[in-house]
Amino acid sequence: MQMSLESLVARGEGIVRLKGKTAIVTGAGSGIGQATALRFAEEGAAVVCADVDAGRNEAVAEEIRAGGGRAQAIKADVTSDDDVADLISGSISSLGHVDILINNAGQAVIGTAEEISGVDWDHQLDVNLKSVYRTSRAIWPHFRAQGGGVILNTASVAGLIGVPGQVSYGVSKAGVVMITKNMALDGAKECIRVNCVCPGWVPTPMVDYHLSLLDEPEAFRARLEGLHPLGLGDPMHIAAGFLFLASDEARWITGIALPIDGGLTCGLNAED
Write the DSSP string, 156-222.
-GGGTS--TTBHHHHHHHHHHHHHHHHHHHHHGGGTEEEEEEEE-----HHHHHHHHTSSSHHHHHH
169 is catalytic: yes
| Catalytic residue (one of 40, 140, 143, 169) | 169
97: β partners: none
Residues 6+ apart with CB under 8 A from 268: none
71: β partners: 47
* CA 49/CA 19 separation, integer angstroms: 18
* CA 219/CA 217 separation, integer angstroms: 5
Q: How far is CA 158 from CA 108, 163, 180, in A?
A: 11, 6, 15
* CA 227/CA 201 separation, integer angstroms: 9
Among all residues, which ones are annotated catalytic?
169
